[in-house]
Structure 1
Amino acid sequence: MKNKVKQAYDRLSVRYEHEDEKYNVYNNYYERPAMIKQLPDNLKGLKVLDAGSAAGWYTEYLINQGAIPTAIDISPEMVAATKRRTKEKAEVLCWDLAEKLPFKDNTFDIIISSLTLHYLKDWDNTFFEFSRVLKPNGIFLYSVHHPIMDISISETKKYLETELLTDHWKYGNEKIEVVFYRRPLHQIINTTLKSFYLEELIEPSPREELKKKMPDSYYQLLQRPNFLIVKSINSKKK
């Protein structure tokens, strides 16, 4: 599983780094505006962990907002892309989120994880580690595939079960196999609540810009959300 994820995103890194605006319209006009809306207006001086940085879009955004970001990703090629994008202005590590994090307790003010956690089977250990390295009352903000979207490509259609799914993403004239886990909504929320207080659950609305660029996709997202955003607060005591 880990190797498949790493291989897929190593191959996708060039597109994420250089063709982001053209191919990531769902990110630019759907997921990212909704995620940024949940962040504090003033990020200056805050230490932020970008957990699953891909090619570094969020890391670059955080730098531009005056934050002090640290980025981690399992893909060596994505890590290299993040370093180039941020011009070495952030610490960037190649790391597996399923492993113990290489940071001290209470290091970060915010953890942001964009469309990454569905590649992990077990969230318990990862969320425990997030809580450990996050300051008390720190923000944990993440986005994942919406369960409604993923059940549509499930062969079993057993919504209440967690299952490994395989999808194929078009990449030029070929397709890249991408594997990830689908889990029901109650499991997403209940796992979060083991370490965090739930502040807000967001099913984002697409921006008007998407309607101009891809009207079919815009109306599809209004009928069936693709992503789910969870904003939570670290419940760890001081």
Structure 2
Amino acid sequence: MKHVIMDAYSKLSRDYEKNVDTESGYNAYYERPAMLKQLPEDMSGLAALDAGCAAGWYTEQLFHRGAQVTAIDLSPEMIEATRRRVGEKANLLAHDLNDPLPFADESFHLIISSLTLHYIENLARPLHEFHRVLRPGGQLLFSVHHPFMDFTLFQRPDYFTHEWLIDNWIKKEAGEVEVAIFRRPLHDIINQTTAAFTLDRIIEPQAVPAFLEKLPDSRKSYDHLMTHPHFLIVHAHKSQSPTQERNR
């Protein structure tokens, strides 16, 4: 499925660069506000990894908060879109999260991964690498499709099945794009996360009021997000040494 995913996001790079920040309520006024609430306002002196940076919105937010940012994405086109957004303010690299990360052990204080890990079948691979490159006490914050959303939207017969799904998106710049998504049940997401990390919280966000203020014609989507889970956010951390944990 790698070629399907890379082809999709190569096509989608212009939409993410030009339209998502203001025209996608699901990103701009639903997922992003909930994610940002989990981050410290002052990140001065912190090394952060944006894993699956797309067109660099989170990359920009992280360096505005003072972090030293590295951003990676499978799509070279997305990396170039991020470069146009942030210039030389972040270290940018095209990289597949199915492969080992090209960073030394304990390189980062924080890893953020927005709506990326549902494109990976073997979730243990990136989680293992995230654990390796995080410092003790370092934070992992990621969002994925909510398993209940994929199960109901695609009308699947078995919630517990692990499977690839194909969705067709219609976008302003790219037109029709075929997108491959890997579906897994909630317990698998949580269990694989806690096999490597200590879980701090899970978040099932709701849309913020700005959704309707900015997109007044999207009442149906707003009402749906206020009553149905669409994305899932997981906040965890890498345990410190036993002595450090006792002193937290």
TM-score category of the 2 structures, normalised to the smaller one:
over 0.9
Corresponding residue of 1:177: 178
Alignment of 1:133-172 (within 5 A): 133-154=133-154, 156-172=156-172
1:43-84 CA-partner distances (Å, limit 9, x unpaired): 112100000000000001111111111000000100111111
| Superposition deviation, residue 156 in structure 1 | 3.7
In the alignment, the residues of structure 1 paired with residue 239 and residue 22 of structure 2 have an alpha-carbon distance, to the nearest angstrom, of 39
| Superposition deviation, residue 167 in structure 1 | 0.4
Alignment of 1:79-90 (within 5 A): 79-90=79-90
In the alignment, the residues of structure 2 paired with residue 94 and residue 223 of structure 1 have an alpha-carbon distance, to the nearest angstrom, of 37
Corresponding residue of 2:246: none
Corresponding residue of 1:28: 28
Tell me the SS of whatever aligns to 1:48.
strand
Letter in 1 for 2:219: P
Counting matched residue pairs gives 238
Change (3 A) 1:127 1:21: closer
Answer whether contact 1:195 1:236 (CA < 8 A) is retained: no
In the alignment, the residues of structure 2 paired with residue 230 and residue 163 of structure 1 have an alpha-carbon distance, to the nearest angstrom, of 21
In the alignment, the residues of structure 1 paired with residue 18 and residue 108 of structure 2 have an alpha-carbon distance, to the nearest angstrom, of 29
| Superposition deviation, residue 230 in structure 1 | 0.3
CA-based RMSD of the aligned residues comes to 1.4
| Superposition deviation, residue 9 in structure 1 | 0.5
Answer whether contact 1:206 1:222 (CA < 8 A) is retained: yes
In the alignment, the residues of structure 1 paired with residue 241 and residue 192 of structure 2 have an alpha-carbon distance, to the nearest angstrom, of 18
Answer whether contact 2:98 2:120 (CA < 8 A) is retained: yes
In the alignment, the residues of structure 2 paired with residue 154 and residue 163 of structure 1 have an alpha-carbon distance, to the nearest angstrom, of 12
TM-score w.r.t. the length of structure 2 is 0.92
| Superposition deviation, residue 236 in structure 1 | 5.8
1:202-225 CA-partner distances (Å, limit 9, x unpaired): 000100111332211111011211
Corresponding residue of 2:114: 114
In the alignment, the residues of structure 2 paired with residue 68 and residue 111 of structure 1 have an alpha-carbon distance, to the nearest angstrom, of 12
Corresponding residue of 2:9: 9
Query: Does 1:51 pair with 2:56?
Result: no
Corresponding residue of 1:210: 211
Letter in 2 for 1:234: K
| Superposition deviation, residue 23 in structure 1 | 3.1
Letter in 1 for 2:229: P
Structure 1 unaligned spans of 5+: none
TM-score w.r.t. the length of structure 1 is 0.96
Letter in 1 for 2:225: L
Change (3 A) 1:10 1:228: same
Corresponding residue of 2:71: 71
